Amino acid sequence: MVERASEEKLRAACNPDELGFMHTDELGPLKGIIGQDRAVKALHFGLEIRNKGFNLYVAGEPGTGKNTAVMSFLTELAQPKEPASDWCYVNCFKDNYSPRALRFPPGRAAGFAREMKDFVEAVRQEIKVVFESEEYTKRRSQTLENIGEQKARLLGALNDKAEQEGFVLQTTPVGFYIVPVIDGQPVKEANYLELPEENKQAITARREQVESEINTTLQQLQVLERTARDRMEGLDREVARYVLSNLISQLQSSYEDLVDVQHYLEEVKTDILDNLSVFKGEKGDGGDGPSAQSTKDYSRRYSVNVLVDNGESQGAAVVFEESPLYNRLVGRIEREACYGTLVTDFTMIRAGSLHRANGGYLTLPVHELLSSPFAWESLKRALREGKITIDEPTDRLGILSTKSMQPEPIPLDVKVILMGDPGLYQVLYALDAEFQELFKVKVEFDTRMDRTPDNIQSYGLFAAALCRKEDLRHLDAKAVARLVEHGSRLTADQEKLSTRFADLADIVREANYYAGVGGETQISKKHIAEAIAQRLYRSNLPQERMADLTREETLLIDVDGVITGQVNALSVFSLGEMAFGRPTRITAVVGCGRGGLIDIERESRLGGRFHTKGVMILGGFLADRFAQLNAINISARLVFEQSYGEVDGDSASSAELYALLSALSGFGIRQGLAVTGSVNQKGGVQAIGGVNEKVEGFFDTCSIKGLTGDQGVLIPYSNLRHLVLRDDVVEAARNGLFHIYPVRTIDEGIEVLTGVPAGRRLDDGRFEAGTVNAAVEARLELLSKGSGHNPEEAPSKECGHGRG
């Protein structure tokens, strides 16, 4: 005898008197993460261990609060730690396309950038002053005079030699012009041609000697020019070195603990000395042309590009990158338009999330990461190599071969936390071998927790914290109790509570609105109930349309009377954030033949794989119970009436079996009852999902047709703990207008549906007379005879069960 479920079995009631408070404003602050002990332990381990590859993947459904919880956890963990180093890029004077990375203690990079800017400006001013000084001018003039005297002596000697040979030298822009002299007068070209041949030959011979002397003198003059230039450069370097030594020594003393900075400053000093002409203003005109190299423009060569500045950071870095595009992750190299072309230099290198999180923690949404081209591969490469490399995405494709910047990679020490759903974790683990090596710690946030007194109390603490943070009205104890009941409803389990605190927070916020509309100072139970009801109302238009079809009898559903071979099955429709149940009529027809058990849904290609499996199990049940001695030869058809979409799932398999047993036995089924539950080959009724929606769906249908007190739902006994029904359903059950029958076996269910005992098999091999099983067996024997098969004969291959 199946007993009806009692009222206390139909809901997850919470007694407000046991909460220990009257209102949530009496409660203290919320500490820790509610109901996620497993996740908290995994977080502790993954964040504390510093070995390579122990990065984290935090899995959890949306709304479980994993993002808020992880960021709060990280902030608390990072606070006592030391800030990470500063990083900056400076010019590499040997190769401008390969900027150097310099590391500084926290807060010192920005200071170094300012000091370098002041240093370059001071060098520019000091060099200008010193090269305009009287002492420098005097020393320069003396050097030039000495060289000039030597040049004059050489030219004088050359002229004397020319006169001795009978020539005079005329200086032209292209060199010396040798003119012969006769009788103290230069010979003109016309007169020269009239001279005797002997005189011409003598003049030519003497000219060659003079030309040789000219070449020798010119070489000596070139040597003097180089000497003058070297002396002037030496003088300039001597003067500039004195200026630089005084200025740069101050910088070197400030950063004497940083070896790389000391090396860079020496390179700066050498480069300035090699380019003194720029600082003296001898190159470029200071104009706006692309080749202009004014001192101000050239000083950019010595700029410091501060990439990461942790001077104001408190603790280790905690970065949550919401949009992990490639450039936002590893950094980028910007460009600017200049005279019709795009140019760049080391000052246009920009940091990415990896730079900002270096030495701390970086949190990334995995779905967005995988959606961004190159981002996932770049992250893996950075973690694998332990350094951040900034390059152009096109370089990875190998399409363009233009020369581009290649900044020096920066060492990476970061803990990466990926945030995603469990499904993506399984995909990455199965398909990406590097994922297993780089993300060894899985942190999974559950969507539910045990309904213990401590966790119930945590619901109150959560509500109190939310109200304080967002300045909402506080909840009284009954409101918290109603929120707890709703938490169990979200999990569809009387012994569990939902950890989807985003949904719960929305309920509290909406309840606060209704309390405000009513002029209440606190949120009460009715406000929580109103918020829950209104959320459903805003989404249940499809459910109302279905109800209209039932009310109009467009959808044919019987909720009273007794009909053979017909049963009300229950299904669930999921539409976005809401799900609702509705009954569907299943009919079974049997007759003579060897067609076997035919599933019309499958034959019409409207049945899914799981539904097909459930129907095939029915054949196994019939074979196990009724075909141990004799083969079964029937032609039976099962169909979901007025179903025009795909049917899947096995939750209606018990209903199909009840319809089939009814059709075979001839015993009618009470139409005031609906059925849900899957079945196994041994006749056990198994748990299904959506039990609350299914029960409520049939209750709503009965309410439309009229409650008679004989209506109800058969559910699997193992689903009893999952009942968290609406108040109106519980009220109807309390008043005897609606009933829930938990059944363990098909035999129990058929007895409730037909009012006839199922019957057990006696020692003689027959079922008890007057029972459902006896009637089924007798009908099967009759159908087998009608199909031309003698049940006394041994079963043959022709007597199978068709496609069932």
Per-residue pLDDT of 419-472, as tens digits, reads 999 999 999 999 999 999 999 999 998 888 999 998 998 889 999 989 999 999
Q: Count, in order, helices (H) and strands (E) of the chain.
A: 28, 30
- Which of 623-637, 664-678, 700-714 shows the lowest mean pLDDT across its residues? 623-637
* 692 Cβ contact partners less than 8 Å away, ≥ 6 residues apart: 489, 492, 722, 723, 724, 725
The C-alpha atoms of residue 763 and residue 772 are separated, in whole angstroms, by: 18
The C-alpha atoms of residue 68 and residue 34 are separated, in whole angstroms, by: 12
The C-alpha atoms of residue 648 and residue 47 are separated, in whole angstroms, by: 43
Instruction: Look up residue 579 and give its DSSP letter.
Output: E
The C-alpha atoms of residue 472 and residue 463 are separated, in whole angstroms, by: 10
Q: Dihedrals φ, ψ of 351, to 5°?
A: -75, 155
Q: Taking a C-beta distance cutoff of 8 angstroms, is the pair 175, 211 a contact?
A: no
Per-residue pLDDT of 325-369, as tens digits, reads 999 999 998 888 887 788 888 999 999 999 999 999 999 999 999
The C-alpha atoms of residue 519 and residue 523 are separated, in whole angstroms, by: 10
Report pLDDT for 89: 95
Q: Taking a C-beta distance cutoff of 8 angstroms, is the pair 443, 46 a contact?
A: yes
Q: In the chain, what percentage of residues exceed pLDDT 90?
A: 41
What's the one-letter identity of residue 5? A
The C-alpha atoms of residue 502 and residue 521 are separated, in whole angstroms, by: 24
Per-residue pLDDT of 605-616, as tens digits, reads 766 777 777 778
Residue 60 reports pLDDT greater than 60: yes
Report pLDDT for 296: 55
Pairing of strands 578-591, 566-575: antiparallel
Give the Å distances, CA to CA, from 158 to 13, 169, 174, 227.
122, 9, 17, 20
Alpha-carbon torsion 521, 523, 529, 531, what sign?
A: positive
Per-residue pLDDT of 551-560, as tens digits, reads 888 888 889 9
For 228-254, what is the mean pLDDT? 82
For 507-518, what is the mean pLDDT? 94
Report pLDDT for 547: 86
* 604 Cβ contact partners less than 8 Å away, ≥ 6 residues apart: none
Tokens, residue 472: 């909402």
Pairing of strands 387-388, 361-365: unpaired
Per the prediction, the chain carries an average pLDDT of 84
Q: Supply the angle between the helices 772-786 and 746-754 in degrees, to the nearest 10.
A: 90
- Which of 144-153, 556-565, 736-745 shows the lowest mean pLDDT across its residues? 144-153
For 482-506, what is the mean pLDDT? 91
Report pLDDT for 289: 38
The C-alpha atoms of residue 147 and residue 142 are separated, in whole angstroms, by: 9
Residue 746: strand, helix, or coil:
helix
Per-residue pLDDT of 86-132, as tens digits, reads 999 999 999 888 999 999 999 999 999 999 999 988 888 888 888 77
Tokens, residue 34: 């509610």
Residue 668 reports pLDDT greater than 80: yes
Give exposure, 455-482, as e/b (b: 16+ Cβ within 10 Å). bbbbbbbbbbbbbeeeebbbbbbbbbbb
CA 221 to chain centre: 74
Q: What is the pTM of this model?
A: 0.78
Higher-pLDDT residue of 607, 270: 270
Give exposure, 11-32, as e/b (b: 16+ Cβ within 10 Å). bbebebeebebebbeebeebee
The C-alpha atoms of residue 30 and residue 619 are separated, in whole angstroms, by: 56
The C-alpha atoms of residue 309 and residue 52 are separated, in whole angstroms, by: 25
Tokens, residue 396: 């990875």
Tokens, residue 178: 């040798």
Residue with tokens 């990079």: 109
Q: Dihedrals φ, ψ of 371, to 5°?
A: -80, -15
The C-alpha atoms of residue 697 and residue 574 are separated, in whole angstroms, by: 13
What's the one-letter identity of residue 193? L
Report pLDDT for 29: 61
Task: Tell me the three-class secondary structure of 625-641, residue by residue.
Answer: HHCCCCCCCCEEEEEEC
* 134 Cβ contact partners less than 8 Å away, ≥ 6 residues apart: none
Instruction: Name the CA dihedral angle for 116, 122, 127, 128, rounded to a multiple of 10 degrees.
Output: 130
Report pLDDT for 788: 52
Higher-pLDDT residue of 413, 283: 413
The C-alpha atoms of residue 770 and residue 756 are separated, in whole angstroms, by: 8
Query: Whose CA is closest to 712, among 654, 673, 752, 670?
Result: 673
Report pLDDT for 780: 86
What's the one-letter identity of residue 589? V
- Which of 43-57, 284-298, 370-384, 634-648 shows the lowest mean pLDDT across its residues? 284-298
The C-alpha atoms of residue 358 and residue 103 are separated, in whole angstroms, by: 12
- Which of 294-298, 329-333, 472-476 shows the lowest mean pLDDT across its residues? 294-298
CB atoms within 10 A of CB 261: 22
The C-alpha atoms of residue 120 and residue 126 are separated, in whole angstroms, by: 10
Report pLDDT for 612: 78
Per-residue pLDDT of 755-769, as tens digits, reads 999 989 888 888 899
Catalytic residues: 651, 694
Report pLDDT for 798: 36
Report pLDDT for 34: 78
- Residue 674: pLDDT band (50, 70, 90) is very high
Q: Taking a C-beta distance cutoff of 8 angstroms, is the pair 112, 268 a contact?
A: no
Residue 687 reports pLDDT greater than 50: yes
Residue 653 reports pLDDT greater than 60: yes
For 704-732, what is the mean pLDDT? 92
Tokens, residue 757: 């005992």
- Residue 26: pLDDT band (50, 70, 90) is low
The C-alpha atoms of residue 111 and residue 132 are separated, in whole angstroms, by: 32
Report pLDDT for 399: 61
Report pLDDT for 182: 75
For 597-626, what is the mean pLDDT? 76
Residue 199 reports pLDDT greater than 80: no
> Given phi > 0 = left and psi -120 to 50 = alpha, else beta, which region is 20?
left
Give exposure, 338-349, as e/b (b: 16+ Cβ within 10 Å). eeeeeeebbeeb
Query: Whose CA is closest to 509, among 450, 546, 467?
Result: 467
- Residue 286: pLDDT band (50, 70, 90) is very low
DSSP H helices, 96-175, are 108-131, 134-164
For 189-206, what is the mean pLDDT? 74
Residue 210 reports pLDDT greater than 80: no
Residue 797 reports pLDDT greater than 70: no
Report pLDDT for 71: 84
- Residue 577: pLDDT band (50, 70, 90) is confident
